[in-house]
Amino acid sequence: MSTQRPAPLGPTEPVIRFEQVRKEYPGGTVAVEGLDLEVHERELLVLVGPSGCGKSTTLRMVNRLVEPTGGRVLLQGQDVARTDPVALRRHIGYVIQNVGLFPHRTVGQNVGTVPALLGWGARRIRDRTAELLELVGLPPATYSRRYPHQLSGGERQRVGVARALAADPPVLLMDEPFGAVDPSGRRRLQQEFWRIQRELGTTVMFVTHDIDEAVRLGDRIAVFARGGHLEQLSDAVDLLARPASAMVADLVGSGRAVRLLAIGEITPEDVEPRPALGTGAPGPVDGPGAPQLGPAEGLRLGSRLDDAFAALAASGGRPVPVTGPAGSGSVVGVLTPDGLLGALRRMTTTAPEPVDDAADG
């Protein structure tokens, strides 16, 4: 799966802005403290941290399921506290772990819930429902008349995503959306959702406790510490290579290089224009006299490094052909084990030494 990002939109007003937001519950428990955070247009921002760190509370303050004790939450420049909560929620997509589909309504009726509340006509609802079911990989001819109890857990989650996107909301809030799905189904859902978000450009806040899910999906990752403090805000590479504190390093855990494989991409500088022959002389990529290459395994510029690692393992370490960006089909060179190591080195070369937990002890 390629990780090509949409082109940046340039400086814009953040879609969501938290300004010195605080949430204290009765009894004195502080869930969020002094939060300043911005979510940009088309961004998928992941909130991650240990249980009780305030990440779900932060998410729910956007659609006013939780009211802040202090500070402001702005959505498209408007203070959500001054917005009718029912109208606000109808214009924000919301997906939770157990989906919450209406059991007595069909899949099509579930997906069309918010458009119906907004007064859309029947034909428009039907067309939008069919479009979204296709988008999430559930052919409407097969699924629209089914009921939730006739679906697998992964299929119910897909319907939940379609329902949340039905009215084309500016923001999608997702709270542990894939947590109840088995590991293999969860990975497929992550890949499918990643594709959908890239295709639609929806602005997403996504809560998870799973650091692997966070680095696989997020454009940026906000790490929360207990007590509701924002400990680090960065992209996945910086998070893995440069944890800002011992707490973040402990959350990321060991095996950072393996996680970097899951998010790094093959770039032209990682690819050799032609494989090296036994004599050290350059040789052609194909044709007479070319050395034997490993299987291509679908590698192209922009492929993830974990796919590259799998292809090199399958080839027995022989060079693997790499094609140009999706759709070009032409071989631009080969990837070798040294090229893969170079890609990992490139991702971390400017990083200072990661925080060592032992140093604090």
Same structural domain for residues 96 and 124? yes
So what's the pLDDT on residue 234?
93
Same domain, 73 and 147: yes
What is the pLDDT, as a whole number, of residue 8? 40
In a domain, 145, yes or no: yes
Domain-embedded: residue 344? yes
pLDDT score, position 282: 42
> What's the chain's length in residues?
361
How far apart CA 226 and CA 70 sit, in angstroms, is 18
247/216 same-domain check: yes
CATH number of the domain bearing residue 83: 3.40.50.300
For residue 157, the enclosing domain spans 16-254
The reply to whether 86 falls in a domain is: yes
Shared domain check, 185 and 270 = no
Helices 305-314 and 337-348 pack at an angle, to 10 degrees, of 160
What burial class does residue 26 get, using C-beta atoms within 10 Å of its C-beta: 0-12 exposed, 13-18 middle, 19+ buried? exposed
Q: What's the rounded Cα separation, in Å, for the pair 235 and 150?
A: 39
pLDDT digits (tens, 9 = 90+) for 196-236: 888 888 999 999 998 989 988 999 999 999 888 999 999 98
CA 184 to chain centre: 17
By the 8 A CB rule, do 224 and 54 touch?
yes
Residue 9 lies in a domain: no
Residues 122 and 35 in one domain: yes
Tens of pLDDT along the chain (361 residues) come to: 444 444 444 446 799 999 999 999 998 899 999 999 999 999 999 999 998 899 999 999 999 999 999 999 999 999 999 999 999 998 899 988 777 889 999 999 999 999 999 899 999 999 999 999 998 889 999 999 999 999 988 888 889 999 999 988 889 999 988 877 777 778 888 888 888 888 888 999 999 998 989 988 999 999 999 888 999 999 988 898 889 999 999 988 877 777 788 788 889 999 998 654 443 444 444 444 444 555 555 688 888 888 898 899 998 888 999 988 765 668 889 999 999 988 888 877 654 444 444 444 3
Looking at residue 5, its pLDDT comes to 43
- 207 and 184, same structural domain? yes
Same domain, 80 and 228: yes
- 4 is a domain residue: no
Q: Residues 352, 332: contact at Cβ < 8 Å?
A: no
Q: What is the DSSP string of 345-356?
A: HHHHTTPPPPP-
Q: Tell me how crowded residue 152 is: count the other CB atoms within 10 A of its CB.
A: 11
pLDDT at site 352: 45
Give the largest CA-CA distance in the chain.
Answer: 78
68-112 confidence digits (pLDDT tens): 999 999 999 999 999 999 999 988 999 887 778 899 999 999 999
Number of domains the chain is built from: 2
In-domain check, residue 198: yes
| 1 within a domain of the structure (yes/no) | no
pTM, rounded to two decimals? 0.76
Residues 177 and 243 in one domain: yes
What's the confidence (pLDDT) of residue 347? Answer: 78
Calpha distance 38→31 (Å, rounded):
19
Q: How many CB atoms lie within 10 A of CB 209?
A: 17
